[in-house]
A and B are shown apart, each in its own frame.
Chain A
């Protein structure tokens, strides 16, 4: 975006919040509200991708990993809540006397689950990011390594049927922290939580982007060496953005579970991780609202077109990648920004938008 006055973005967030939290529950049917909740979850992930990729220049193609950490933490808790004191049904299926695997046990506690949703991605992304950024792994390497991790995790979950439900995943949740999930009022509450979390994430990145850290992050993206020469450690700056984006992916995953009612490896593997990228690229990776709106548009496309015309939908997503990246590398929001600045251009500076000169070289 051209340098909009910060309060203008803030008003945008406020309008968005009113639409999401006030208007949507009044006008949408339960079915569409639940769908919108699902898009909100993807949008939360997208805000994180925008932070890491759009602002930080780190293309992370494995957000599914962190999505999975949040989603499976939540799903394990909800499964145990449904199972009561017993062992979840799918485990008993193979061996009636099987004990609960040790790593499931702590997820009986609601507090532990909530803590895990926040702390697990921070630990994993922190260790991974530290290992990669300190050794200056970046660009395509980072993209491929993170995608490899997503593939590995999805394969691992697929193959551990007894511990994680395998390909069928975890589903049939009856309760959400004591609330009956079948009750429409409670489903609305779950939607409102997801929507509110999305607004909070937007506020957080809005504040981040205008802070000194936000400036440093963009500087690191555009000229990492100069940032280093100025005495900052780019690795630390990137690490913070990477961990932040992982945390948002985890939160998105955690809310996805009660809204959609099922989590499977298919939702976290390479294909799903790429779909998350598609939305961000489509909307505009470096802008504040681009990732959110892009992710919601792709989510909507998938649930409407994808269910009625799955073959065509895959072609559309493929073409979307090609057309957007080739002609609109900064996404639709840059097209809008260019349009508005063209309309009111009265000899002012042309909109350089957030044109990110991709300085990272594949060979670096």
Chain B
């Protein structure tokens, strides 16, 4: 049990963080076919927002609850700006959105490096998040539990938004058949923008969670973007439940591999795991049945 439960708990938190990072990607990539490589930098912006909020109102109990919506809005607005300035011109060129956003991510990273100290900034954990909870006799840091709960809340909110609101219906309609949706009077441009706003905003929320667990610096985006993409790919494009399961599996696998071997070997093993998995299910965990020629 000693070799199983700690990595399982730790891995669940890691998976939750990955899930938060992947949620926005799953929305923009899955629903819109846009590959946003700057998503990791939006996450970084969320983390820096948490720091700035703490600078403004102090690192009291309220700092994190305030930082979450602020980070959502800041990252979301930046995403909106990115969509309006660059991405809207290239919806039919997915690989090119990937390259353009690589350029954006380089610029954002460099800007962060110049605006903030190179070694990063500390985001202080409020007292109520600093303790530990007892799970089956093992101590689980409160921060990790918080990340898991936050991820669950975000997934629930996103799923409900997509399923029950009229806007969610419009998004799904636009994704399924853009031309038909337009004919039916759905303002697809507005749908695109709002989807991008929410997707990017979720990266900001992920950044706040990441600032509590890892470091907050200009390089943190690169650390999350590749695993998050692997999670989206392994889960199946545009499949929320697939993303959730894949995030948890990859998080636990990374944690277990790191526990049994070393952190860097764990990354290689996780990568091999995803490749092997894609051999078995090239379309990911859950797929939309389609008769289109691949």
In the assembled complex, the CB of A46 is this many whole angstroms from the nearest CB of chain B, namely 15
**Chain A nearest Cβ from B120, distance in angstroms:** 18
Cβ of B226 and Cβ of A147 under 8 Å apart? yes
Mask, B75-97, CB within 8 Å of A = 1, is 00000000000100110111110
The stretch among A29-37, A101-109, A137-145, A254-262 that forms the contact with chain B is A137-145
Nearest chain-B residue to A150 (Cβ)?
B226
Q: In the complex, A137→B234 CA distance in Å? A: 12
Most buried by A among B29, B109, B268, B292: B268
Q: Does A306 contact B (CB under 8 A)?
A: no
Q: Are A59's CB and B90's CB within 8 A?
A: no
* A314 cross-chain contacts in B, Cβ below 8 A: 106-107, 109-110
Inter-chain contact total with CB atoms closer than 8 Å: 135
Contact status B102-A274, CB under 8 Å: yes
Chain B residue with Cβ nearest A277: B99
User: Which chain A residue lies CB-closest to B32?
Assistant: A362
With both chains docked as a complex, state the minimum distance between the C-beta of A193 and any C-beta of chain B, in angstroms. 32
What are the residues of chain A within 8 A of B238 when measuring CB–CB?
363
CB neighbours of B89 from chain A (8 A): 326
Beta-carbon contact of B268 and A152 below 8 Å: yes
Given the contacts A151-B226, A270-B222, A325-B96, A225 and B110 also touching, CB distance less than 8 Å = no
Pick from B96, B102, B230, B264 the residue with the most CB of A within 10 Å. B102
Known A137-B278, A363-B237: A358·B107 in contact at CB below 8 Å: no
**Contact present for A325 and B99 (CB under 8 Å):** yes
Query: B114 contacts A311, CB within 8 Å?
Result: yes
Enumerate A151-210 residues with CB–CB distance to B below 8 Å. 151-153, 155-156, 158-160
Q: List 15 A-B contacts (CB under 8 A).
A: A132-B275, A135-B278, A140-B94, A148-B229, A148-B274, A274-B102, A315-B107, A317-B103, A317-B106, A321-B99, A321-B103, A322-B103, A358-B95, A361-B94, A362-B237
B229-271 interface bits toward A, Cβ cutoff 8 Å, 1 = contact, 0 = none: 1100100011000000000000000000000001111011001
Q: Are A159 and B264 in contact (CB under 8 A)?
A: yes
B residues 87-132 in Cβ contact with A at 8 Å: 89-90, 92-96, 98-100, 102-107, 109-110, 113-114
* B33 interface hit (Cβ, 8 Å): yes
Q: Report B225 CB to chain A, min CB distance, Å.
A: 9
Shortest CB-to-CB span from A355 to chain B, Å, is 12
Contacts A139-B94, A314-B106: A131 and B293 contacting too (C-beta < 8 A)?
Answer: no
Q: Which residues on the A side are within 8 Å of B294 (C-beta)?
A: 136, 364
Contact surface of B with A, Cβ cutoff 8 Å: 29, 33-35, 86, 89-90, 92-96, 98-100, 102-107, 109-110, 113-114, 222, 226, 229-230, 233, 237-238, 262-265, 267-268, 271, 274-275, 278-279, 282, 292-294
Is A149's CB within 8 Å of the partner chain B? yes
| Contact of A86 with B by CB under 8 A | no
In Å, the complex CA distance between A158 and B265 comes to 11
Q: Is A360 an interface residue (CB 8 A)?
A: yes
Q: Which of A143, A145, A362 contacts B275 (CB 8 A)?
A: A145
A329 within 8 A of B: yes
4 A-B pairs besides A358-B94, A361-B33, A361-B94 with CB distance below 8 A are: A59-B95, A151-B226, A318-B106, A358-B93
Are A152 and B267 neighbours in the complex by a CB distance under 8 Å? Answer: yes
Give bound CA distance, A319 to B90, whole Å. Answer: 16
Verify if A320 is at the interface (C-beta below 8 Å from B). yes
| Chain A contact residue count (CB 8 A cutoff) | 47
Q: Is the interface of A mostly helix, strand, loop or mixed?
A: helix
Question: Given the interface contacts A139-B95, A144-B233, A314-B110, does A321 sit within 8 Å of B102 by beta carbon?
Answer: yes
Report whether A319 and B107 are in contact in the complex, using a CB–CB cutoff of 8 Å. yes
Inter-subunit contact B263/A159 (CB<8 Å): yes
Give me the interface of A with B, judged by CB distance under 8 Å. Answer: 59, 128, 131-132, 135-137, 139-141, 143-145, 147-149, 151-153, 155-156, 158-160, 225, 270, 274, 277, 281, 311, 314-315, 317-322, 325-326, 329, 358, 360-364
Alpha-carbon distance between A233 and B74 when the two chains are bound, in angstroms: 48
Question: Whole-angstrom distance between the alpha carbons of A137 and B275 in the complex?
Answer: 10
- A residues less than 8 Å from B271 (CB atoms): 148-149, 152
Task: Choose one: B102, B106, B233; the contact of A141 (CB below 8 Å).
Answer: B233
| B262 & A159 in contact (Cβ 8 Å cutoff) | yes
Chain A neighbourhood of B34, CB < 8 A: 362
- B11 CB → nearest A CB, Å: 18
Closest B residue to A153 by beta carbon equals B268
* A362, B110: Cβ atoms closer than 8 Å: no
The 10 closest A-B pairs by CB, nearest first: A321-B103, A362-B94, A159-B264, A318-B106, A318-B107, A362-B33, A314-B110, A135-B282, A322-B103, A318-B103
A172 vs chain B, min Cβ distance (A): 25
Do A320 and B95 touch (CB < 8 A)? no
- Check B282 against A136 for contact (C-beta < 8 Å): yes
Residues of A within 8 Å of B226, CB to CB, are 144, 147-148, 151, 270
**Contacts A144-B226, A314-B110, A315-B107; is A137 near B96 (CB within 8 Å)?**
no
Q: Give the residues in chain B near A364, CB-CB below 8 Å.
A: 292, 294
